[in-house]
A and B are shown apart, each in its own frame.
Chain A
Amino acid sequence: GAGVSQSPRYKVAKRGQDVALRCDPISGHVSLFWYQQALGQGPEFLTYFQNEAQLDKSGLPSDRFFAERPEGSVSTLKIQRTQQEDSAVYLCASSSQGWGNTIYFGEGSWLTVV
């Protein structure tokens, strides 16, 4: 596709509800990243995939957060039993293989937990 596509763009969840956020990376991009951006803050790293392999999940804040990319393309970030502190923008990004290649961000999924 032309850019990184994320859905839904906006999600309101009741506390305790499970949510799933989808990311369609740029076609052919090997690397895929998830970031969390709180209001007024810089994005914070959550997890990184190279193809279907999740190489780094050190930024996931709790075991309620789970990400997958089963076929090395589309990725899903799942948050179980959402809490109010999970309210943030979840940004997906992708890049082609190699050092220093531009990382392209999607417009984000805005999650509000009420």
Chain B
Amino acid sequence: EAGVTQFPSHSVIEKGQTVTLRCDPISGHDNLYWYRRVMGKEIKFLLHFVKESKQDESGMPNNRFLAERTGGTYSTLKVQPAELEDSGVYFCASSQTGKNIQYFGAGTRLSVL
């Protein structure tokens, strides 16, 4: 069974540009989460989807970030326009409803120059 996959693995963009990150959860997992780790700091929650609906987006830093999960399968996280402080590693995780464990992808390392 495939795990959570994310791409690209690394993205380097200039300030002001747009970047879209993609996450494919484990098949059958209704819950999908986005997290971010800024250099050397803790991994912080961004938002949680249940199927295609946003269950909790309390961790989204500002309106430059837009997450979607059309059809309740894969999800995208768009940053527009990107700022220097958006640099970090973005993790996606998925879980089955009612289960305590979240399965994480390898992350996308975003570098904004």
Instruction: Decide if A and B are genuine partners.
Output: no
State the A residues within 8 Å of B (CB).
none
State the B residues within 8 Å of A (CB).
none
